[in-house]
Amino acid sequence: MSPLPVALVGAGHRAATVYAPLLLGPLSDRFRLVGIVARSDYRVPGLAQGLDLPWGLDLSDAADWGARGLILCASAHANGPLGLQAASLGLPLLLETPLALELPDAIRLAEALEGAPVEVAEQNPRFGDTLLWRRIVQEGWLGRVQAVASDAAGYRYHAASVARAILGRPHARHAVGLRTVFDEDHGPEALYAGTLSTEGGAIYQVRDGEALHRGAWQRGGWWLAGTGGSLRPDGVQRRDHGPLPIESRLEAGRRRWSCGPLEVVDPLPHLDADAAAVARCLLDWLARIDGRVTETAWSVDDALRDLAWCVAIERAATLGVRVSVPQLLGTCRFLGGR
């Protein structure tokens, strides 16, 4: 099969340091990068010239170059408007998250993309350690999962996507929360905490907000608890079998995560964690275009529900009321599935 001709939409950091190196390097046998579209000529001329590619400022330029797919990697606030523009071209799309900054805009985009071969490039459910956590849950090592929690400043919809992936993508019911503002020397900082219940009986707990920032951007703090054991990033504690460590190692250039007999391996050698997750996004997109849905695929439905989980928790924390997630999504006719 010949490589799929694609265009990048965006000329910023991720286009230059993640997507272009993957498309022109280890994935060049599956994709052919034909050009770069940007919203302004601030960065794109230098990037395109360095890669010996044409560039333009209009999405229609991509079709002129022969692109049969668009990779939208501009910026969070541009995702919604660009997605709507790209939908009108009828080309397969790879979208970064969030779909939009506001839930109504995300719903509008989801409805515009209904039925199209669109993959969402939400990396976090496709990191190797997250995939291993999901395998541990699938194997039943924790019994029935009762809670999944995250304490990671600034993670927002990424944390929701990880929780949904680990729990098997359950639908949400209600959210409750609390928001507190701290008076710091440089100004007020907010912290919110919330709990969201799911149809499967598990709860998702999260603490997030500016007040968790202390020096370096914090990520981590995940834990899961079930009827048969618990899980943290460093290992599993099984009620009837004792502890099992989670290990990470490099072998022949590929990162491997393992816990007992379970193992997850990077899709390509010599990639860092970020690039490996993006590579999975791109390969899942190619499979979707070919009419196949992989286990790690992330749909527009998934991205919309990720955002709805966040909005529900933040709204509950801000207003001090219980928020129904189905009611938030009640006007959306999309919500098809993977």
Q: Which of 66-75, 121-130, 215-224 has the weakest average pLDDT?
A: 215-224
- Mean residue pLDDT of the chain comes to 91
Pick the CATH number of 4-124 from 3.40.50.720, 1.10.1510.10, 3.30.1280.10, 2.40.50.140: 3.40.50.720
Amino acid at 122: E
State the greatest distance between any 2 C-alpha atoms of the chain, in Å, as a whole number: 62
Buried-exposed string 137-166: b where 16+ CB fall within 10 A, e elsewhere: beeebbeebebbbbbbbebbbbbbbbbbbb
Q: Could you give the residue range(s) of every CATH 3.30.360.10 domain in the chain?
A: 125-269+295-338
Locate 15 and state its tokens: 């286009």
Strand locations in 39-186, DSSP E?
55-56, 70-72, 93-95, 118-120, 145-151, 172-184
**Percentage of the chain exceeding pLDDT 70:** 93
Buried-exposed string 325-336: b where 16+ CB fall within 10 A, e elsewhere: beebbeebebbe
- The pLDDT, as a whole number, for residue 212 is 61
Q: Which residues contact 143 (CB under 8 A, 6 or more apart)?
A: 226, 227, 228, 229, 239
Higher pLDDT, 184 or 299: 299
Cα 24 to chain centroid distance, Å, stands at 23
The model's confidence at residue 335, banded by pLDDT at 50, 70 and 90, is low
Q: Could you give the residue range(s) of every CATH 3.40.50.720 domain in the chain?
A: 4-124
- The pLDDT, as a whole number, for residue 217 is 47
Q: Mean pLDDT, to the nearest integer, of 167-194? A: 86
Pick the CATH number of 125-269+295-338 from 3.90.650.10, 3.10.520.10, 3.30.360.10, 1.10.1060.10: 3.30.360.10
Question: Is 337 exposed, middle or buried, given 0-12, 13-18 or 19+ CB atoms closer than 10 A?
Answer: exposed
Higher pLDDT, 332 or 121: 121
Cα 256 to chain centroid distance, Å, stands at 21
Per-residue pLDDT tens for 26-38?
Answer: 999 999 999 999 9
Question: Is 122 exposed, middle or buried, given 0-12, 13-18 or 19+ CB atoms closer than 10 A?
Answer: buried
Four-point Cα dihedral 68, 27, 301, 126, nearest 10? -170
